[in-house]
Chain A
Amino acid sequence: LAKTTQPISMDSYEGQEVNITCSHNNIATNDYITWYQQFPSQGPRFIIQGYKTKVTNEVASLFIPADRKSSTLSLPRVSLSDTAVYYCLVGEDNYGQNFVFGPGTRLSVLP
């Protein structure tokens, strides 16, 4: 399984764009990159997933460079309710995939 590295914590202000980068230097050819959000005392919530280039949905964008050794989750115009822990996971699209979580990034959005 590809190991991931993320900043432990980040601070931002309301209305700003937040970019969280995840490093996964030993990502394999079949690996996808998935980001989850977790609020205290809740299960993680799926945010976005990608394989290469750029993916965008209604809540975030995911940028993946050509070498796929890193990825950046972009949250446009964050609000206080975006304060949470964000996890980057890397793994294969098959039934044997174990979703192993790294330490995540604790994002604090300040007023």
Chain B
Amino acid sequence: GAVVSQHPSRVICKSGTSVKIECRSLDFQATTMFWYRQFPKQSLMLMATSNEGSKATYEQGVEKDKFLINHASLTLSTLTVTSAHPEDSSFYICSAREGAPEAFFGQGTRLTVV
């Protein structure tokens, strides 16, 4: 299947700082990318959907000014957690699709805010 690379896999940051997570589709052009967060023992929660070249669509309850999403090219989307706080600590996962019904997922990023 198609490969989606997410970086970094693990990051620790201080409270109040910003963290950027990258999501790349390595062998296909991702017209749509999704960002999720997942707390322990829980399912994935969709945060936002982004289409290349347009603004992301955020799910209800997700602060767009706190979770900045940029989908500037067909192979790269970034999620920036601004002014991170300990409650933002979570597992963040991106996925991408080219147009086929299935989406392919990155390996996830474990964010810990101390």
> How far apart are the CA atoms of A93 and B45 in the complex, in Å?
20
* A43-B95, A101-B46, A103-B43 known; A95-B31 Cβ under 8 A: yes
Chain B residues positioned under 8 Å from A93 (CB to CB): 100-101
| Contact indicator A99/B43 (Cβ below 8 Å) | no
Would you call the interface of chain A mostly helix, strand, loop, or mixed?
loop
CA–CA, A103 and B94, complex, Å: 18
Interface stretch of the complex, out of A12-20, A21-29, A44-52, A67-75 = A44-52
A-B interface contact total, Cβ < 8 Å: 61
State whether B107 touches A95 (Cβ < 8 A).
Answer: no
Determine if B43 and A87 form an interchain contact, defined as CB atoms under 8 angstroms apart.
yes
**Is B78 part of the contact surface with A, judged by Cβ < 8 Å?**
no
Q: How far is the CB of B35 from chain A (nearest CB, A)?
A: 11
Smallest beta-carbon distance A73→chain B, Å = 14
Decide yes or no whether B110 CB sits under 8 A from chain A.
Answer: yes
CA distance A45 to B44 in the complex (A): 13
A-B contact pairs, 30 of them (CB 8 A): A32-B101, A34-B101, A34-B102, A41-B108, A42-B108, A43-B4, A43-B95, A43-B105, A44-B93, A46-B102, A49-B101, A85-B43, A87-B43, A91-B101, A93-B100, A95-B31, A95-B51, A97-B101, A98-B34, A98-B46, A98-B49, A99-B34, A99-B95, A100-B46, A101-B36, A101-B43, A101-B44, A102-B43, A103-B42, A104-B43
Name 11 extra pairs, CB < 8 A, besides A46-B104, A46-B105, A95-B31.
A34-B102, A43-B6, A43-B93, A43-B107, A44-B93, A98-B34, A99-B103, A101-B36, A101-B45, A103-B42, A104-B43
